Structure 1
Amino acid sequence: MHLTRTARVVLGVLMAAGLAVVHVPLLLVVLNSFNADRSFAWPPSGLTGEWWVRAAHSQGVRDALWTSLQAGLAATAIALVLGVLAAFAVHRHRFFGRQTVSFLVVLPIALPGIVTGIALNAAFRTVLDPLGIGFGLFTVIVGHTTFCVVIVFNNVAARLRRIAPSLAEASADLGARPAQTFRYVTLPALRSALFAGALLAFALSFDEIVVTTFTAGPGTKTLPIWIYENLARPNQAPVINVVAALLIALSVIPVYVAQRLSSDSAGGRL
């Protein structure tokens, strides 16, 4: 479609304005994490690394970071197993209710987080309380897995649709066992999709707060929960900016790597 020069300029300005609305506040958070003024006066009176040092020595921040890492890694690992199995079942086999299974797997990512959180909270109270299992890291991991599975499932399913079934058939014709076909043919074709799905799932789990609020116990605090609880404490404001900047970095890096992997794969470099 051919656009006039005026149309291109207008679209460029609108795109720049939209990106600015989204990303300028994030840049301000990063800048304020180095702002020497505790009240964040603008322009900054100076730059300092003091708040980063305080954050590094804060036991609450370290504990929350460790909890987020545990929850994110565990949820991602479980999601990889369940998401890959579900994707293979739906896209490599024909059975009654196949579309229904696909819909149910994807549904959690479409539901509002507060609905998922309330549903999981009620389910845990009904099922786990009689077994003596309270709210804690385990319930947070289960809650995060419900939506991390969708990310892995979508990535693997999209890649499976681009892999010709004839490749596996040719491998079998040459005498390869199913395990060998998976190792030497299917897995190399899926590797980047698995890695991208895992990175996106981890990023989504790491900064999740709504579902975590309903599934975490009193002593279980992830990094987003710690930030939310300390927002009302003025003396913690500089440290909160540091933690928020850390969250931005830990979210942007996996998403960027996953996007590069996806674009490379789309270009044919598996």
Structure 2
Amino acid sequence: MTISGPTRMVLRILTIVILAFIYIPLLLVLVNSFNVNKTFAWPPRDFTLEWWRRAAESQGALDALWVSVRVGLVATVIALVLGTMIAFALQRFSFYGRDSVSLLVILPIALPGIVTGIALNNAFRTIFGFELGFGTIVIAHATFCIVTVFNNVIARLRRTGVHLEQASADLGASGFTTFRLVTFPLIRSALLAGGLLAFALSFDEIIVTTFTAGANQQTLPIWIFNNLFRPNQAPIVNVVAAALIVFSVIPVWLAQKLSGDAEPLGAGR
């Protein structure tokens, strides 16, 4: 389909406007993290690294960061194991209710976060009698992290098919050997991409965490929200937000490269 010159120009302008609307506020956060003025007066009259130094020494921010990292890592491991197992079960086997199971697996990430948070809070406290804390945060995050791993793995399994695994079995390889030498290399980049996205999703989550964290655990997004409107903490919060903007780009970019640039089977022959 050929696009006319005026249409192409309009599309370019719309693209620039949309990207500017998204990224200019993020750029302002980065610039204000060096703004010498606590109220972030614009334009900045001078720049300083003082807020970055204070952020690095803020025990509350460091503790919350450590909680977020631990929760993200454990939830990602759980999601990798369960998401991969579910993907294999739904892709490689036919059974009654398979489509319903697939819908139930994907549903948690489609539900509003506040609905999921309230439901998990009620389940933890009234049904299971759990005390809200680190474990309940991990379980809550794993429920939606599983979806990202599941989607990546099942998409890769649909692309690769079963021919190489069948050939391996015909040559006498055991199921474990086939998985280790054939299946795992085929899905390795999908697992890594799913894991990176799951960790990023867990690290940034705040709504579900609010309902499942309890009083003794505080992740970094919750720490940011609690300190956002405190005048003395505002510059530190701005620095933490700026750092998260920079570091959040890395797992998303890697996941995109891994899931989109995989070499097709038979390439290079």
**TM norm. shorter chain > 0.5:** yes
Query: How far did residue 266 of structure 1 move?
Result: 6.2
1:146 to 122, 143, 149: 143
Matched-pair identity in % = 61
Query: How far did residue 127 of structure 1 move?
Result: 2.8
Query: How far did residue 48 of structure 1 move?
Result: 1.3
Give the match for residue 161 of structure 1: 158
More displaced 10-residue stretch of structure 1: 2-11 or 82-91: 2-11
Alpha-carbon separation, structure 2, partners of 1:266 and 1:31:
39
Alpha-carbon separation, structure 2, partners of 1:254 and 1:144:
17
Give the match for residue 68 of structure 1: 68
Give the match for residue 7 of structure 2: 7
Query: How far did residue 128 of structure 1 move?
Result: 3.3
Query: How far did residue 250 of structure 1 move?
Result: 2.9
Alpha-carbon separation, structure 1, partners of 2:102 and 2:66:
33
Give the match for residue 35 of structure 1: 35
Alpha-carbon separation, structure 1, partners of 2:231 and 2:60:
16
Query: How far did residue 222 of structure 1 move?
Result: 0.3
Counterpart check, 1:197 vs 2:194: yes
Q: Which portions of structure 1, spanning 4 or more consecutive aligned residues, are displaced by more than 3 angstroms?
A: 266-269
- Which secondary structure does the structure 2 equivalent of 1:235 belong to? coil
Task: Assess if the C-alpha contact under 8 Å between 1:35 and 1:48 holds in 2.
Answer: yes
Query: How far did residue 232 of structure 1 move?
Result: 1.8
Task: Assess if the C-alpha contact under 8 Å between 1:203 and 1:250 holds in 2.
Answer: no
Task: Assess if the C-alpha contact under 8 Å between 1:203 and 1:251 holds in 2.
Answer: yes
Query: How far did residue 235 of structure 1 move?
Result: 1.2
Q: How many residues align?
A: 267
Task: Assess if the C-alpha contact under 8 Å between 1:37 and 1:44 holds in 2.
Answer: yes
Structure 1 gaps of 5+ residues are none
Per-residue displacement from partner, 1:46-67 (whole Å, max 9, x unpaired)? 2211111101100000000000
Alpha-carbon separation, structure 2, partners of 1:223 and 1:267:
39
Tell me the amino acid that sits aligned with residue 16 of structure 2.
Answer: A
- Which secondary structure does the structure 2 equivalent of 1:234 belong to? coil
Alpha-carbon separation, structure 1, partners of 2:245 and 2:138:
21
Tell me the amino acid that sits aligned with residue 232 of structure 1.
Answer: F
Counterpart check, 1:224 vs 2:251: no
- Which secondary structure does the structure 1 equivalent of 2:229 belong to? coil
Alpha-carbon separation, structure 1, partners of 2:213 and 2:101:
28
Superposition TM-score, scaled by structure 1 size: 0.96
Alpha-carbon separation, structure 2, partners of 1:41 and 1:244:
18
Query: How far did residue 94 of structure 1 move?
Result: 0.7
Give the match for residue 261 of structure 2: 264
Give the match for residue 52 of structure 1: 52
Alpha-carbon separation, structure 2, partners of 1:4 and 1:263:
30
Query: How far did residue 119 of structure 1 move?
Result: 0.2
Superposition TM-score, scaled by structure 2 size: 0.96
More displaced 10-residue stretch of structure 1: 4-13 or 258-267: 258-267
